């Protein structure tokens, strides 16, 4: 690369992160700093995303703290969203929830969706109800939020609550989006 700047470094970091190479993305951040370039808020966002999608919660916490304490960059909702997503993915749901509660951010569907997804994976019914309530208040017409909560209830054996969610969906005229699979062969793609 002829000219290395914060944009080119951030692009590399983002690319590695999107393809599951979180450790490589973080090492590129360090390499960038070693070459005398200061990361910006987008660089940190890319690094946090990389950590989130690679399960690197210790590295993400260090990276997040470095952004604030060493580089004096105030986190935006997107930075918090990466941290919430990270903790939800690794099952630290209470930590994810506390990030929303203790910081001066307006929780959006992305934050609550990450919590709800983590609750589905790890079976936290109480927190799932809180997240789903917020998601439904933000946009009552998104059927997937009801479906995920219903699935959490079903997994926990709470069939009466699952029925209530299904009835609520019917009352609101919401349809469950059917799942599908695709099989790719040399001549065509089959959807089932």
The domain spans of the chain are 1-75, 104-177
Q: Is the pLDDT of residue 72 over 90?
A: yes
Query: What pLDDT, on the 0 to 100 scale, is given for residue 8?
Result: 94
Q: Could you give the CA distance from residue 119 to residue 152 in angstroms, rounded to a whole number?
A: 8
Gap between the terminal Cα atoms of the chain:
45
Closest CA to 61 of 31, 94, 99: 99
How far, in Å, CA of 83 to CA of 89, rounded? Answer: 10
Site of tokens 């939800």: 88
Say if residue 183's pLDDT is above 80. Answer: no
* Of 147, 75, 72, 141, the residue nearest 111 (C-alpha): 75
**Cα gap 128→180, rounded to integer Å:** 25
Average pLDDT across the chain, whole number: 91
pLDDT attached to residue 168: 93
pLDDT at 2 exceeding the cut of 80: no
What is the per-residue pLDDT across 88-147, written as a single tens digit (0 to 9) for each?
999 999 999 999 999 878 889 989 999 999 999 999 999 999 999 999 999 999 999 999
List 182's β-bridge partners, or say none.
191
Banded pLDDT at 3 (limits 50, 70, 90): confident
Whole-angstrom Cα Rg for the chain: 20
Q: Where are the beta strands (DSSP E) in the chain?
A: 182-184, 189-191
């Amino acid at each position: 690369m002829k000219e290395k700047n914060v944009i080119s470094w951030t692009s590399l970091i983002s690319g590695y992160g999107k393809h599951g190479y979180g450790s490589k993305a973080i090492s590129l951040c360090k390499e960038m700093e070693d070459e005398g370039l200061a990361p910006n808020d987008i660089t940190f966002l890319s690094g946090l995303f990389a950590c989130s999608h690679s399960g690197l919660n210790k590295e993400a916490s260090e990276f997040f703290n470095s952004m604030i304490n060493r580089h004096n960059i105030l986190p935006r909702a997107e930075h918090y969203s990466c941290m919430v997503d990270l903790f939800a993915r690794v099952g630290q749901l209470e930590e994810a929830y506390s990030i929303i509660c203790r910081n001066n951010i307006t929780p959006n569907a992305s934050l609550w969706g990450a919590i709800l997804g983590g609750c589905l994976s790890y079976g936290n019914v109480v927190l799932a109800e809180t997240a789903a309530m917020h998601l439904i208040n933000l946009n009552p017409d998104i059927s997937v939020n009801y479906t995920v909560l219903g699935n959490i209830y079903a997994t926990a054996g709470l069939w009466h609550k699952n029925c209530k969610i299904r009835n609520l969906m019917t009352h609101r005229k919401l349809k469950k989006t059917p799942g599908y699979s695709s099989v790719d062969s040399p001549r065509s793609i089959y959807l089932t």
